[in-house]
Amino acid sequence: MIKPIGSDELQPRFIYDDSEHDKLSKEAEGLPSVVISSQAAGNAVMMGGGYFNPLKGFMNVADAMGAAEKMTLTDGSFFPVPVMCLLENADAIGNAKRIALRDPNVDGNPVLAIMDVEAIEQVSDAQMKIMTDKVYRTDDSEHPGVAAFNSQGQTAVSGPIQVLNFSYFQTEFPDTFRTAVEIRNEIAERGWKKIVAFQTRNPMHLAHEELCHMAMERLGCDGLVIHMLLGKLKPGDIPAPVRDAAIRKMVEVYFPPNSAMVTGYGFDMLYAGPREAVLHAYFRQNMGATHFIIGRDHAGVGDYYGAFDAQTIFEDEVPAGAMDIEIFKADHTAWSKKLNKVVMMCEAPDHEKDDFVLLSGTKVREMLGNGEAPPKEFSRPEVAKILIDYYQSLN
């Protein structure tokens, strides 16, 4: 199996040993504690599950600046984005060497992790600007990722962590949330050798399904890991159980047995486009994938990034040899009326826009809300049925 990044075996920061876990949980209740930001909590969950291997905890400012500026930490190791625990202030910490990090996203703010405090540093305005400029390619405060990053405070507390739970992700998405440890394990048990990962936050329509089939076929993969970003719902989002049911039904009907896994991970979206694509590839290698699909506008927002920046960054900026996972470069896919099948749009240069079956998200939601299945060139009927049932249940 493909090795994790930076070590021969995955070294998750979650404490699996039961008595150690009990001991730490008790200790945590007596420690000085801080409620951390949602972004920091997401980072802790990812480190807990082994996704950010070999990171042991939150970066100090020098490492974070290195990650932002050249994806390289002070010890020369590779990491594509800063992983920071930024606070408004460190008053609650004092001189403590060990502190409890409390979860901002769960009632009562239970302890998510214990940190060995190695440094407490102030991040200057200039450093904050460099980091956003590098990671988000903008310091525009309208950019949702920049806004979230800047809203945390400028006091960086850093050091290794021991993770005690997986926040609300395990609880709210029990059938889908999986750690990198679990996914590696299951890949081994399924006997897959060549595995492509697909990132999604939404139910998958025919174009997404066919993109996965294309990637598997062209790469010769025996396994597909559909890997959903899980997180709090925004109004209008399709609830996780419905999205899951739709994706599972698609897998059941349209994928051969033992060829696809439906899983998810707990993290906040960065909207960092190309840099986030590199992070996405990074943690897919850690979970055991050999290939990762990156399409047009991957992890982007607004018009901050060029359509294929999230692909070219792998050649232009990622240090050579930093990762073993390979990128499957894709374009949007859509049904071609001329060819009567789903094609990658860049591979149909003679097509005009009208030659494709294209529907906006708004239009699709409107149809489903009216109990109307989108055309079969757009949606599998089994998937449409699940989504229609959901929208009808809202009325």
Give the binding site for its own copies (CB under 8 A).
1, 14, 16, 18, 21, 164-166, 170-172, 174-175, 179, 181-182, 185-186, 188-191, 241, 245, 248, 251-252, 257-258, 260-262
For residue 298, which phi and psi values (nearest 5 degrees)?
Answer: -60, 125
| CA–CA separation, 33 and 138 (whole Å) | 33
Q: Which is nearer to its own copies, 190 or 365 (CB)?
A: 190
Q: Which is nearer to its own copies, 83 or 260 (CB)?
A: 260
The CB-of-49 to its own copies minimum distance in angstroms stands at 8
Half-sphere exposure for 326 (CA within 13 Å, toward CB) = 10
The CB-of-310 to its own copies minimum distance in angstroms stands at 29
Return the number of other C-beta atoms located less than 10 Å from residue 239's C-beta: 10
Q: Which is nearer to its own copies, 258 or 370 (CB)?
A: 258
Q: Is the peptide bond before 32 cis (omega within 30 degrees of 0)?
A: no
The CB-of-52 to its own copies minimum distance in angstroms stands at 16
Question: Exposed, middle or buried by CB within 10 Å (0-12, 13-18, 19+), for 209?
Answer: buried
Active-site annotation holder among 89, 201, 218, 258:
201
| Residues with Cβ within 8 Å of residue 125, at least 6 apart in sequence | 154
Asked about 202 being catalytic, the answer comes back as: yes
Active-site annotation holder among 109, 190, 202, 248:
202
Q: Which is nearer to its own copies, 230 or 278 (CB)?
A: 230
Tell me 4's DSSP state: P
The CB-of-257 to its own copies minimum distance in angstroms stands at 4
The CB-of-284 to its own copies minimum distance in angstroms stands at 17
| CA–CA separation, 330 and 333 (whole Å) | 8
Please state at what angle helix 273-286 crosses helix 125-136, rounded to 10 degrees. 80
Q: Which is nearer to its own copies, 111 or 299 (CB)?
A: 111
Look up tokens 């073993």; give the residue. Answer: 324
Instruction: Give the residue numbers annotated as catalytic, written as ranges.
Output: 201-202
